[in-house]
Homo-oligomer: A and B are copies of this chain.
Amino acid sequence: MAARRADDTLGAMAQAYAVILAGGSGTRFWPESRRARPKQLQALAPRSQSSLLAQTVERLESVCPPERMLVATSRDLLPAMRAELPALPAEAFLGEPIARNTAPAIAWATSEIAERDPDAIVIVLPSDHAVEDPTEFRAVVHTAIESARDGVITTIGIRPTRPDTGFGYIEVGGEIARGVHEAIRFVEKPSVERAREYVAGGRHLWNAGMFFFRARQLLDEVSQRLPKLAAGLMNLRRTPSTERARAVEELFAHTESISIDFGIMEKLSKMHVVPGSFGWSDLGSWQTAWELADKDGRGNALGPGEGAALVLDGSGNLVRNSAHQPKLIALLGVSDLCVVHTDDVILVLPRERAQDVRSVVAELERRNARDLL
């Protein structure tokens, strides 16, 4: 811990706040995830009946109590979010009037925290990932909090377990303090060859979108790099609380739509990264869900529900019997398929086409089949 600064004493007292990003409306887990019940509200992690969002909050509870958590989501999803997290106070939920990617959501939430405590440590976490080892996760989080307390914006980098081309990577430098490394640069999604080099080289980590910083520090960066967003935040802070809804609408109407990665993190002159291995998954598709799931001897992931699925002469299938009234799902002579059954949809596709579920959703949008979106 060589780099402590003059405000150490104050900083050490500052509490940690969490900003949970829950505005996603992805379509890759359709038909289970829907506009009104997106992925983070679904129980997609293996061996759990809780939603990914509830699990995210639960994992964090010993780090940060509910009264210091904020959930940034879309305005439409506020009622569902509140219902999912009844332990959080009403003011914990920030409803974005329109989607503007992560930078405006994080900056707004950070601004709210800064009004309470400008020196607060802010933890930014996605709400739709799975973590197999929450104890190890919390140890890594504590290390990252300490790094941020030392004054450097910090991220967690996931040690890669395969040459995945679906993630951005972070190149790691030397160890600065125990478990804390210099982050040399962000790397965009690589080719397969490059990804293999990264995994073999051991100097690249997956960017999981988790960030740690002091509130004031992030807002300073916003002021420098995203002027429209900074102006909107300034206006918001000057607006009396009774009129803030309108100020939020103005902020989102006029701000840049940009990710925190691209807008700020990739441009920082200095950043720290804490490597972590805690069974992380972004649950990117039905393929990922199959990879994580418990499987029978032939690689069939049949999910919970005794006798709800029967596979003869088939291997490598994923069966999701998610309707309120389950049915027997019987597969004969088919392999490597996903079969997803919900209250109103039966979806069948090869696992290797899992990324293309969005094309089904797009077709339903064209047909204006709103009930199914």
Instruction: Please list the residues of chain A having a beta carbon within 8 angstroms of any beta carbon in chain B.
Output: 31, 307, 310, 312-313, 327-334, 337, 339, 341-350, 353, 356-357, 359-360, 363-364, 367, 369, 372
Contact between chains at A349 and B367 (CB < 8 Å)? no
Contact between chains at B346 and A328 (CB < 8 Å)? yes
Chain B residues in 8 Å Cβ range of A342: 327
Would you mind naming 15 contact pairs between A and B with Cβ atoms under 8 Å apart? A31-B330, A307-B369, A312-B363, A313-B353, A328-B345, A328-B346, A328-B372, A329-B346, A331-B347, A332-B348, A332-B353, A332-B356, A332-B357, A332-B359, A332-B360
Number of this chain's copies in the assembly equals: 2
Q: Which residue of B lies closest to A345 (CB)?
A: B328
Chain B nearest Cβ from A219, distance in angstroms: 44
Contact between chains at A310 and B353 (CB < 8 Å)? no
Contact between chains at A331 and B348 (CB < 8 Å)? yes
Across the A-B interface, the 8 shortest Cβ-Cβ residue pairs: A332-B349, A333-B353, A329-B346, A328-B345, A330-B347, A331-B348, A330-B360, A327-B344
Q: How far is the CA of A344 from the CA of B310 in the complex (A)?
A: 13
Q: Which residue of B lies closest to A356 (CB)?
A: B332
Chain B nearest Cβ from A27, distance in angstroms: 12
Contact between chains at B346 and A333 (CB < 8 Å)? no
Chain B residues in 8 Å Cβ range of A364: 310
Q: Which residue of B lies closest to A357 (CB)?
A: B332
Contact between chains at B327 and A359 (CB < 8 Å)? no
Chain B residues in 8 Å Cβ range of A332: 347-349, 353, 356-357, 359-360
Contact between chains at A337 and B339 (CB < 8 Å)? no
Which one of B328, B343, B357, B363 lies within 8 Å of A310 (CB-CB)?
B363
Chain B residues in 8 Å Cβ range of A344: 327-328
Chain B residues in 8 Å Cβ range of A360: 310, 312, 330, 332
Contact between chains at B337 and A346 (CB < 8 Å)? no
Chain B CB within 10 Å, residue with most, of A346, A357, A372: A346
Which one of B31, B327, B350, B357 lies within 8 Å of A346 (CB-CB)?
B327
